Each structure stands twice: as structure tokens, then as C-alpha cells.
Amino acid sequence: MEMDYVTEFPLSHIDRRPRKRPRIAWDVPQGHPKAQSGIYYEQDVGNGTSFGPPRVLPDHPSLFVKGLTQKGSPPWRDDDKDGHYMFALGENLTSRYKIHRKIGEGTFGQVLECWDRETKEMVAIKVVRSIKKYREAAMIEVDVLQLLGKYDRNGSRCVQIRNWFDYRNHICIVFEMLGPSLYDFLRKNNYRPFPVDLVRELGRQLLECVAFMHDMRLIHTDLKPENILFVSSEYVKVPDYKFTSRSPKDGTCYKRLPKSSAIKVIDFGSTAYDHQEHNYIVSTRHYRAPEVILGLGWSYPCDIWSVGCILVELCSGEALFQTHENLEHLAMMERVLGPFPQHMLRRADRHAEKYVRRGRLDWPEGATSRESIKAVLKLHRLQNIVMQHVDHSAGDLIDLLQGLLRYDPSNRLTAPEALRHPFFTRDHFRRF
């Protein structure tokens, strides 16, 4: 989600990107219990339970309502300075959930793996920071998740919300437990690319998710490999003759492949409704569409651009546009995809007009450093990037990517159009 912004370097433009809070010590010595309201609200949303108003339950072991396991509450502790919930492993998060481990941390809060005593399964609980703007945004995420869950008849590829509650001033969102993100998987694999047949399966599911969301008039706005999770953590190790990192035992190279290609999209905290005003900056930098940077207003096509960037990254192993600066980012786009249409540059808003000179991008004249120019020159044309990494289906994939990465959002493929592309429909030999 993108709620906490800092200005990127250089400071000369309006661009802002999410700030990942540095990892903190998340278990602390127990403090003295403080006076507290001790009330939490709980709302089951999974498995067909109603969407009625939240139940109000007392947070005191001796007062737990009948039917709930009588387990103790941890002592009251202050949140950390950023409003994060402080906990110890093995503690309860309400009487229903037992905290096993921390699996993630984002702008919004922490994600904890917990044992659900009621359903007897592991769940992932996002414990949101106790700060008003994050609490409010979390409630929007709950609304979106409930809406997606309500209309998700046959697996929309969006993570399922199971429950939510308000505990000690932290909104807690309970999700089905998923596996590692595409980014985690790439990283553990030393950024070795995924095979093209796997990229096809991942791309298809991602586009199905986007098509479903767009159909519901929702725009995700923060699609990136970190927000796409494999459903299962299982993988196999297979010999990999292309790369040099060798197993110490027998000298063979190995890489991981997921046992199943099934994925789901997470993080609906930045999701926008179509009827909202869309001129603010969205998306994580590398996946941000040109119309967002140029201040031309954005809508559904910004998700499609992100999908294009993600697919290239899955094929090559590294992010396509590795930059933190707007003009450099636009120059990289031109290097990979060719010149911008003049009509888009002419319409750039007052923040972005400094990137344009006499109807063309002010590059390399406007570059901030020689390193910046070098970073742009290092990039190859899209066709070459794909050909370098993909052994078959390259022609179809390049054509699809050119449709997903069209500069003019009104010409970009829609999700249903992309799903009808030969890259997905041609009878390829499939391994996944």
C-alpha cells in the first residue's frame, strides 16, 4: 500500500514513493498494564458468514463470551513510536488467534502468521498501525476485500479475507495463508528468470485478477511482484545449466521451481474506485505508468502497464526500470520502447513539463549525472531483452508486451484483450 510518502531524490520533482519502515525489534519486555477500553470488534466474513455490524466483545479472559476459548490476553503494552503493535511469539491476538511468527511488514503494519483455534488452520493477520490514517485506509481495504469476496464465484485470484476485528486500537485483517511472493521467489533463486511457460501461467492468472477487478470498477494501483503470492510454498530444485552458482556437493547448478503456479494478488490498500478523482501519484516506482508520471490522470490502464513491467521482470529476473527519478524513468522508457507520442508530452502537467523541451523529452540534456545517462544507455530494446532470456514463444511474448506497454493508456490492451492474445491462446506446450 502506498500511504506514507517521502520525496525521492533528487528533490526537484513532486514524485513521492512509499517508505518502507526499517525493521524494528518487535518483541519487547512487558510493560505495566495500562488503563484500556479493552474492547474489540470482530466480523467474520469468510465462508459465507454474514456482513452485518461488528460484534463487540470484551478483551478480558474472565469475561470471554461463551464459545470462545478461554485463553489469556497478553499484558497491555504501548505501541512502538510508529504505532506498530508490540507482541511476543506464542501470545494470543484475541482469544481466537495464537501468534506463531512474523511473516511480513509493510507501510500499513505487520503481517503475522497465527493459528486460528476456531477453524484449526494457519492464517495471515495484517495488524495495522494504530494511526488514524492507516486505520481509515485499512477499513477501505476491508471494504474492497469484502466486495471482491462477495462477487468472487470461482476464484478471482484475489486473496480471501476471512475475518477482521479491531483489537487494542489496531485493525486486524485475517487472510487465508499464502506462500512466498514472486519477488521472494526470484530473490531466493538469485534473481534467475522464470521459464517462459511459468511466466505464461503467472501472467494469465494476474490478468484474470485484473480483469475481475476492473469489471468491478476497481483499480489495484500497486501491482508488483511483492504483492503477488504463490498459494503454496512448495518448490522443487532442478538442475540449471545456464547459471554458475553451484551446489558445493556435486558441482551441479540448481534452481527452484514452484510445485504449483497458482498465485493470488494481495494488498488492496491502495485500490481506487473508478468514480474517484485520479490525479495523485500511484504505484511503486518501477511499475508506475507514464501517464501517472506525466500527470495526465490515470485509470484502469495503469494496472496493465504494471502487469507489462512485471512480466518482463519475471522473464529477465530483474526490474525493468530501475530508477528513482522521473526524467531518468521516462528516458529509460524511450530507450526500451521508443519515443513518446508528442501529444502525451505536450499535455504533461505543470510538475512534469520540466521534463519536456520543444515537444520532446529533455534527455540527455536534462540528466542529473553521467551515471544517470549510463544507466539509461545500459538498457536494451524490449525485443532484445525478451530474446536474451526466452527460448521459445518470444515473438508472441514481445507482441503481448508491446500491447501492455503502449504509452497512450487509451491504446493499451485491456485485461480481457490481453487474455485473448496468442501468447495465452496459442497451443503452447505447457509444463505448469
Ligand X SMILES: Nc1ncnc2c1ncn2[C@@H]1O[C@H](COP(=O)(O)OP(=O)(O)OP(=O)(O)O)[C@@H](O)[C@H]1O
Q: Closest CB to ligand X among 104 and 366?
A: 104
Give me the least distance between CB of 212 and ligand X, in Å please.
18
Give me the least distance between CB of 263 and ligand X, in Å please.
12
Give me the least distance between CB of 278 and ligand X, in Å please.
19
- For the chain, how far is it from start to end, CA to CA, in angstroms? 30
Give me the least distance between CB of 427 and ligand X, in Å please.
34
Map the footprint of ligand X across residues 124-163, applying CB under 6 A: 124, 126, 159
Map the footprint of ligand X across residues 167-186, applying CB under 6 A: 175-178, 181
300-320 as b/e, with b when 16 or more CB fall inside 10 Å? bbbbbbbbbbbbbbbbbbebb
Instruction: Give the residue nearest to ligand X (CB).
Output: 106
Q: Are 8 and 15 in contact (CB under 8 A)?
A: yes
Give me the least distance between CB of 160 and ligand X, in Å please.
9
Interface with ligand X (CB under 6 A), residue total: 23
- When binding is defined by CB under 6 A, the residue of 161, 266, 309, 332 that contacts ligand X is 266
Map the footprint of ligand X across residues 108-127, applying CB under 6 A: 108-109, 111, 124, 126
Q: Closest CB to ligand X among 181 and 323?
A: 181
At 214 the three-state DSSP class reads helix
CA distance 36 to 48: 33
**Cell 512480466 -> residue:** 311
Structure-block grid coordinates of residue 268: 488492496
Q: Closest CB to ligand X among 171 and 386?
A: 171
- When binding is defined by CB under 6 A, the residue of 107, 130, 156, 316 that contacts ligand X is 107
Options 15, 222, 240, 267, the catalytic residue: 222
271 touching ligand X, by CB under 6 A: no
- When binding is defined by CB under 6 A, the residue of 43, 93, 97, 106 that contacts ligand X is 106
Q: Closest CB to ligand X among 155 and 422?
A: 155
Cross-strand partners of 175: 124, 161
133 is in an annotated binding site: yes
1 touching ligand X, by CB under 6 A: yes
DSSP of 94-129: TTTEEEEEEEEE-SSEEEEEEEETTTTEEEEEEEE-
Q: Closest CB to ligand X among 92 and 160?
A: 160
Pairing assessment for the beta strands 109-116 and 97-105 based on DSSP bridges:
antiparallel
Secondary structure element (H or E) that encloses residue 397, with its range:
helix 394-404
- When binding is defined by CB under 6 A, the residue of 18, 195, 203, 225 that contacts ligand X is 18
CA distance 283 to 349: 18
Burial class of 118 by CB neighbour count within 10 A (0 to 12, 13 to 18, 19+): middle
Q: Are 124 and 164 in contact (CB under 8 A)?
A: no
Is 222 an annotated catalytic residue? yes
Q: Closest CB to ligand X among 46 and 366?
A: 46
Give me the least distance between CB of 316 and ligand X, in Å please.
21
Give me the least distance between CB of 164 and ligand X, in Å please.
13
Query: x-or-dash pattern for ligand X, window 202-231, by CB under 6 A?
Result: ------------------------xx-x--
Map the footprint of ligand X across residues 225-264, applying CB under 6 A: 226-227, 229
Q: Of 175, 168, 203, 186, whose CA–CA distance to 39 is shortest?
A: 168
Cross-strand partners of 57: 40
Expressed in percent and rounded to 5, the helix, strand and coil fractions of the chain are: 30, 20, 50
85 touching ligand X, by CB under 6 A: no
224-241 as b/e, with b when 16 or more CB fall inside 10 Å? bbbbbbbbeeebeeeebe
Q: Binding site for ATP, residues?
A: 133
**Catalytic residue positions?**
222
Where along the sequence are the contacts to ligand X (CB under 6 A)? 1, 18, 103-104, 106-109, 111, 124, 126, 159, 175-178, 181, 226-227, 229, 266-267, 269
